[in-house]
């Protein structure tokens, strides 16, 4: 390992030796003859590289220092001292901290053998990425050796940071310099910060020196660069010498938010502001680098909060004490007590964990500094045990018996089972199993809920509340007559149904397993249905259905089908005597082809373009089918919707209007006065008068258009519901939207 060459103090503009004065300037030629030899110096670029001036004059100063008696003594002294920085006196604030010695380089170090640098004990480097020319143009330039240096250093295994030499004179220029750096760094990762090198131009006058900026303005230049570079995900820092940090910019203020790199060529640094790196010499002799190079010491400063965070949990809320100076807190979750994952970042000292699923939680305080969060020690881990049992199911297990089961909860030591009556919870048992039998009467009036508890006795959330089944099936069938067929809705879990018939006061019952029954159409009677479950040889019944009165059937069904269209197919009015309906498609040669049968007043159709449809109602007697006359014929080709509006209104009547539908022949106006919509009038224009409103408490209208004649019609969709009297809240009955509601 080689050592630091003799430091010559501050870099000097001229050195006086043996009565001869030699000065250097930016306009000198590329070679300087000094005493016993020549030093090769590369010319500065035309865009005025301030770093070149410092480098060139440092060469001159070092050369003179090395051949002077005082210089030779200092060189010997540094050799005697031994390792990097051994002659330094470090600030006591860094006592006990790890120290790293690193170099910073630019193109003026020439070609570097990075493997030799690594072998010489240097593991970290700050590389110049570029600079802004100090002339009036202020051109942004890459360091000619940047990519060669960063690739070589990384390949040799060094940790890398970068610096940029600024001559910005506006905040926009400072941000542009950060953008310039971020663009050049695409594809590279950094181990160390991006530093903003702000200083005067040595041995010349730079555009920043002449800008007339105040101390506060130059400080803000640094902030603009650092904040911008942090937005790209990099750590940030400021490089400046002691004079600049104390007089030209507000170094202590910047040190509160960004890494600070102090340049001071002395054996002891007295700087009150926060810093973590000190450039103490420009005269290091490192293998792999020709000539001298800057050397620095970096202190392993811990920017994290030091306050111990203690975490508690109560009623689903995490709380902890405030950490002094902390910018925020990260809440972590864990499912196994070891591996953690981030749950949330908060600025306060509490966090509600409702909706979270982690079994355990911990918290760490952090300070945001130089583009990253610096975390203190993680708090104690608390057991949340929030998970609620899932898959809760209740099945009938006998007379007045229900077996409740649920899915196991990880880490649960057992479960509490609760019944719920009128919203009130009552615990009935604790069990280590995932099932429990509940015994009691009138169980159908109760619900059940379960929650798990762990080995520490901490209970999780309640499961969903599940209805308990009684002895009888849940639900009541709904019955209706379709011609001479009594049909009803199926009841889950029912073993069968009992049909009760009241024929002139004579009551009889019939047990069936189906959900329909053909009535003897020679007699009039009232019918209702009950569902039942058979348990241990005993039947348990639901409440009875609605009563259906049968008064005979006409063959074929009495009435005519009025066919219409809606948004997804066909719809029509209900025929009381119809058992069902047959939907036909009309072929090009006039044949009626059956395409479906339904027992409701709607038929869905996917492809309706240019197809003519019609419908017939039918019923059956002695296995023979009887049909109504065919409905009107409909083409579903007018999906447009008109918009109805109120034009004027008096106590007796109202005038409404609507938007025209292209090619529409007529419009149908439907009026609802509280008892459902009925066709009020058919109009050829786009206005209508609605009369007889004097005593009405409610009135609304809908409009729809159609094209065609009495043989084939194409209907549009209903307009908006236009309220003439009252509003949606004052409607006496349910809103009716289409023909299925109008006629059904």
Beta strands in 285-359 (DSSP E): 293-299, 311-314, 317-320, 328-334, 340-346, 350-352
Mean pLDDT of 706-722: 80
On whether the pTM is more than 0.75, the answer is: no
Assess contact for 638 and 707: CB atoms under 8 A. yes
| Distance, CA of 158 to CA of 187 (rounded, Å) | 17
| Distance, CA of 533 to CA of 540 (rounded, Å) | 5
> Is residue 450 classed as helix, strand or coil in its secondary structure?
strand
Single out the residue of 532, 493, 485 nearest to residue 395, CA to CA.
493
Could you tell me the sign of the dihedral formed by the alpha carbons of 45, 49, 51, 56, in that order? positive
pLDDT score of 64 more than 70: no
Strands of 563-566's sheet in order across: 563-566, 569-572, 602-604
Beta strands in 622-693 (DSSP E): 624-627, 633-635, 644-649, 654-658, 666-672, 677-683, 687-690
Residue 586: its pLDDT value, please? 87
| Distance, CA of 405 to CA of 394 (rounded, Å) | 7
pLDDT band at 563 (very low <50, low <70, confident <90, very high): confident
- The full DSSP string for 585-625 is EE-TTS-EEEEEEESSSEEE-S--TT-EEEEEEEEEETTEE
pLDDT score of 153 more than 70: yes
Phi and psi angles of residue 340, each rounded to the nearest 5 degrees, phi first:
-120, 160
pLDDT score of 618 more than 80: yes
List, for residues 685-705, the tens digit of each pLDDT value. Answer: 889 999 988 888 899 999 988
| Distance, CA of 350 to CA of 382 (rounded, Å) | 14
pLDDT score of 336 more than 80: no
| Distance, CA of 115 to CA of 125 (rounded, Å) | 13
Reading phi first (left if > 0) and then psi (alpha if -120 to 50, else beta), residue 116 is in alpha
CA distances from 322 to 306, 348, 350, 654 (A): 11, 8, 10, 69
Residue 83: its pLDDT value, please? 52
Which class for 666: exposed (0-12), middle (13-18), buried (19 or more C-beta within 10 A)? Answer: middle
pLDDT score of 626 more than 80: yes
pLDDT score of 201 more than 90: no
| Distance, CA of 194 to CA of 659 (rounded, Å) | 66
Q: Examine residue 556 and say whether the peptide bond preceding it is cis (omega within 30 degrees of 0).
A: yes
CA distances from 94 to 48, 87, 91, 730 (A): 38, 16, 6, 79
pLDDT score of 183 more than 80: yes
Residue 113: its pLDDT value, please? 97
pLDDT score of 252 more than 90: yes
Mean pLDDT of 299-317: 90
Mean pLDDT of 723-742: 65
List, for residues 75-126, the tens digit of each pLDDT value. Answer: 443 443 345 667 899 999 999 999 999 999 999 999 999 999 999 999 999 9
> Is residue 412 classed as helix, strand or coil in its secondary structure?
coil
Distance between terminal CA atoms of the chain? 99
Residue 706: its pLDDT value, please? 82
Percent of the residues in the chain that have a pLDDT greater than 90, as a whole number: 61
| Distance, CA of 126 to CA of 200 (rounded, Å) | 20
Strands 293-299 vs 99-105: parallel, antiparallel or unpaired: antiparallel
pLDDT score of 636 more than 90: no
pLDDT score of 740 more than 90: no
Half-sphere exposure of 347 (CA within 13 A, CB side): 2
Question: What is the CB neighbour count within 10 angstroms for residue 734?
Answer: 8
| Distance, CA of 543 to CA of 67 (rounded, Å) | 115
Mean pLDDT of 144-160: 96
CA distances from 119 to 103, 122, 160 (A): 14, 7, 16
* Chain mean pLDDT for the chain: 85
Phi and psi angles of residue 220, each rounded to the nearest 5 degrees, phi first:
-70, -30
Mean pLDDT of 482-510: 93
CA 127 to chain centre: 38
| Distance, CA of 697 to CA of 98 (rounded, Å) | 88
> Is residue 73 classed as helix, strand or coil in its secondary structure?
helix
- The full DSSP string for 415-437 is EEEEEEETTEEEEEEEESSSEEE
Residue 74: its pLDDT value, please? 43
Helix pair angle (50-67, 69-81), 10° resolution: 90
List, for residues 505-547, the tens digit of each pLDDT value. Answer: 999 999 999 999 989 888 899 999 999 999 999 999 999 999 9
- The full DSSP string for 535-549 is ETTEEEE------EE
List, for residues 367-381, the tens digit of each pLDDT value. Answer: 999 999 999 999 999
Strands of 435-439's sheet in order across: 393-398, 401-405, 435-439
List, for residues 451-488, the tens digit of each pLDDT value. Answer: 999 887 778 889 999 999 999 998 999 999 999 899 99
Mean pLDDT of 172-190: 96
Q: Name the residue with higher pLDDT: 282 or 177.
A: 177
The continuous run of DSSP H or E covering 717 comes out as none
Mean pLDDT of 153-165: 97
Single out the residue of 164, 162, 101, 178 nearest to residue 126, CA to CA.
162
pLDDT band at 40 (very low <50, low <70, confident <90, very high): very low
Which class for 452: exposed (0-12), middle (13-18), buried (19 or more C-beta within 10 A)? Answer: buried
């Amino acid at each position: 390992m080689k050592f630091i060459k003799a430091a010559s103090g501050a870099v000097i503009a001229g050195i006086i030796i043996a009565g001869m004065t030699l000065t250097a300037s930016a306009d000198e030629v590329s070679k300087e003859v000094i005493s016993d030899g020549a030093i090769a110096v590369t010319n500065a670029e035309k865009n005025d590289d301030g770093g070149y001036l410092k480098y060139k004059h440092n060469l001159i100063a070092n050369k003179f220092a090395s051949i002077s008696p005082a210089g030779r003594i200092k060189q010997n002294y540094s050799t005697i001292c031994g390792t990097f920085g051994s002659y330094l006196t470090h600030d006591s604030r860094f006592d006990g901290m790890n120290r790293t010695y690193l170099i910073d380089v630019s193109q003026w170090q020439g070609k570097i053998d990075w493997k030799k640098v690594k072998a010489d004990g240097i593991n970290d480097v700050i590389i110049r990425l570029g600079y802004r020319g100090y002339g009036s143009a202020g051109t942004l330039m890459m360091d000619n050796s940047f990519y060669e240096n960063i690739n070589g250093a990384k390949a040799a295994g060094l940790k890398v940071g970068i610096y940029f030499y600024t001559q910005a004179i506006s905040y926009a220029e400072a941000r542009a310099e950060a953008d310039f750096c971020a663009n050049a760094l695409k594809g590279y990762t950094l181990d160390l910060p991006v530093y903003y090198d702000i200083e005067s131009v040595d041995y010349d006058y730079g555009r920043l020196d002449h800008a007339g900026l105040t101390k506060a303005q130059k400080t803000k230049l640094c902030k603009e660069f650092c904040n911008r570079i942090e937005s790209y995900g990099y750590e940030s820092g400021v490089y400046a010498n002691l004079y600049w940090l104390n007089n030209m910019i507000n170094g202590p203020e910047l040190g509160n938010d960004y890494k600070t790199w102090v340049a001071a060529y002395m054996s002891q640094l007295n700087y009150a502001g926060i810093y973590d790196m000190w450039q103490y010499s420009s005269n290091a002799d490192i293998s792999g680098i020709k000539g001298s190079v800057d050397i620095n010491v970096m202190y392993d400063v811990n920017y994290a909060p030091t306050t111990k965070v203690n975490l508690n949990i109560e009623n689903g809320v995490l709380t902890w004490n405030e950490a002094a100076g902390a910018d925020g807190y990260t809440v972590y979750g864990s499912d196994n007590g070891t591996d953690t994952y981030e749950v949330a970042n908060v600025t306060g000292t509490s966090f509600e964990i409702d909706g979270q699923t982690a079994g355990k939680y911990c918290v760490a305080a952090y300070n945001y500094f130089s583009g990253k969060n610096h975390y203190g020690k993680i708090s104690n881990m608390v057991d949340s045990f929030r998970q609620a049992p899932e898959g809760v199911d209740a099945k009938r297990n006998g007379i007045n018996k229900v077996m409740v089961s649920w899915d196991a909860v990880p880490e649960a030591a057992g479960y509490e089972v609760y019944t719920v009556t009128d919203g009130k919870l009552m615990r009935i048992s604790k069990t280590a199993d995932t099932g429990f039998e509940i015994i009691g009467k009138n169980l159908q009036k109760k619900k059940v809920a379960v929650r798990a508890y762990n080995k520490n006795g901490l209970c999780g959330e309640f499961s969903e509340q599940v209805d308990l089944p009684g002895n009888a099936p849940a639900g009541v069938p709904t019955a209706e007559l379709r011609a001479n067929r009594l049909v009803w809705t199926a009841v889950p879990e029912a073993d069968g149904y009992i049909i009760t018939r009241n024929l002139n006061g004579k009551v009889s019952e019939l047990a069936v397993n189906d959900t329909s029954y053909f009535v003897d159409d020679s007699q009039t009677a009232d019918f209702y249905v009950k569902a039942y479950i058979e348990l241990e040889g005993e039947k348990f019944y639901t409440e009875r259905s609605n009563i259906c009165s049968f008064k005979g059937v006409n063959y074929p069904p009495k009435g005519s089908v009025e066919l219409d269209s809606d948004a997804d197919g066909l719809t029509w009015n209900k025929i009381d005597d119809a058992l069902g309906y047959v939907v036909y498609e009309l072929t090009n040669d006039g044949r009626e082809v059956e395409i479906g049968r339904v027992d409701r007043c709607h038929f869905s159709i996917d492809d309706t373009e240019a197809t003519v449809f019609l419908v017939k109602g039918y019923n059956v007697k002695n296995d023979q089918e009887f049909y109504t006359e065919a409905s009107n014929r409909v083409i579903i080709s007018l999906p447009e919707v008109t918009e109805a509006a109120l034009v004027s209104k008096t106590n007796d009547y109202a005038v409404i209007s609507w938007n025209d539908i292209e090619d529409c022949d007529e419009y149908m106006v439907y009026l609802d006065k509280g008892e459902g919509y009925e066709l009020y009038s058919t109009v050829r224009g786009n206005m209508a008068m609605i009369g007889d409103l004097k005593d009405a408490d409610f009135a609304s209208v809908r409009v729809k258009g159609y094209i065609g004649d009495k043989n084939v019609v194409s209907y549009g969709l209903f307009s908006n519901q236009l309220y003439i009297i009252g509003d949606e809240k004052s409607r006496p009955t349910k809103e009716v939207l289409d023909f299925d509601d109008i006629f059904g």
